[in-house]
Structure 1
């Protein structure tokens, strides 16, 4: 499963259309549609009921949405733990140099 597809699924739900999600992600609506289809194929369910004028979540989509949001939040928290301010380098830095280095620098 592609993380980007999962993100597009959640954004599409929040924004209400493939077009809005595509605009936000700087993609074409067809690319968002393809990502959703790929996700649906991997899950073996239909996430959206589509028509020319509307897009709505199916029952399976409504069931899956909270899990998708939780998964994305967990990944974001993991990245924050790895790259957060608490992981700044700290301690004593020791540098070894030849003794004649000081004489050359004068």
Structure 2
């Protein structure tokens, strides 16, 4: 039931569909067993919400890694981003989030 509901909501890009999909994920997490959640996880990987969550997690990890390299290795933000091979198109976003005064 949850899997079918998510599949139906997935193609719709309206905000209300995104909210409904998020609610379905929450309910699935609360009421489904591990095997059923694994099925939902596969469906979720194909959704915009799933991609957004994954991108957010990657950004958070990258931000923490940059901060740790700056602190522990006494590197500049550019040295840390070079070491992590952060692409040029994402560097300004990290600069703003790590050094908001610049």
Task: Select the structure that is richer in helix.
Answer: 2
Task: Select the structure that is richer in strand.
Answer: 1
Which bracket does the TM-score occupy, shorter chain normalised? Answer: under 0.3
TM-score (norm 1): 0.27
Say which one has the larger Rg: 1
